Amino acid sequence: MKVDKNSMLLYVVTDRTWLNGNKLENQVEEIIKTGATFIQLREKELDFGSFVREGKIVKEITDKYNIPFVINDNIDVALAVDADGVHIGQNDRNSRDVRMLIGKDKILGVSVETVEQAILAESQGADYLGVGAVFSTSTKEDAADVPLETLRTICSSVSIPVVAIGGINANNLLQLKGSGVNGVAVISAIFAKPDVASATRELLLLAKDLIK
């Protein structure tokens, strides 16, 4: 499976912090059913075996709804799960090396903060870019805010899809209008809400307005 700009519209990154006894796979399915167009499985604490088991369960769901599914950072888990691809940051392996490891048919997403990083990532085989943090975020406290002008320049400098990430919620999402992004990536704006389905529906409508 490859990505296009439409799959970037509402890109959801998982976070088990707010599950409150719910199963992650149930939350993921509810989110997909109500509008998510892409799922990234992000786990910082799970051991390899647990991560793989969870990844396989989530992949069954994303396959059922035919939407892209990538693993955050962990290439070994992505390959073990046979995920659609992997998303890496600037502190991870070189994009070209990752492309060689996962093969030409897997999705490669890369986090960038500058125009230079964006152009390099595309040249090294990235299928899409995650640009941020566009707003302050508690999920990644060491991430610097990317100015709107930089986001706009990145979008006009590459030919691959771009998704904005970092601190995005229903209150600030439309501040990105006119930037050229193909969608938004969210975490707590959905998972921290008591009703993930309602939150997803609201964000989907806003995302559609954003890219008009």
The per-residue pLDDT for 144 is 63
Residue of 5, 53, 93, 140 marked active site:
140
Assign 178 to helix, strand or coil.
coil
Q: How many structural domains is the chain composed of?
A: 1
Residue of 42, 177, 193, 201 marked active site:
42
Q: Name the nearest CA neighbour of 108 among 141, 130, 91.
A: 130
Secondary structure (DSSP) of 91-152 = TSS-HHHHHHHH-TTSEEEEEESSHHHHHHHHHTT-SEEEE--SS--SSSTTPPPPPHHHHH
Kindly report the backbone phi and psi dihedral angles of residue 177, in degrees, each rounded to the nearest multiple of 5, phi listed first.
-60, 135
The per-residue pLDDT for 88 is 97
pLDDT in tens, the chain (212 residues): 889 999 999 999 999 988 888 899 999 999 999 999 999 999 999 999 999 999 999 999 999 999 999 999 999 999 999 999 999 999 878 899 999 999 999 999 999 999 999 999 999 999 999 999 999 876 555 556 899 999 999 999 999 999 999 999 999 999 999 999 999 999 999 999 999 999 999 999 999 999 99
Is 42 known to be catalytic? yes
Is 138 known to be catalytic? no
The per-residue pLDDT for 50 is 97
208 contacts 9 by C-beta, under 8 angstroms: yes
How distant, in Å, are the alpha carbons of 36, 87, 103, 196, 211 from that of 181?
16, 18, 26, 24, 7
Tell me the pTM. 0.95
Is 140 known to be catalytic? yes
The per-residue pLDDT for 86 is 98
The per-residue pLDDT for 2 is 81
Residue of 7, 95, 99, 111 marked active site:
111
CATH number at residue 116: 3.20.20.70
Range of the domain at 134: 5-210
The per-residue pLDDT for 196 is 96
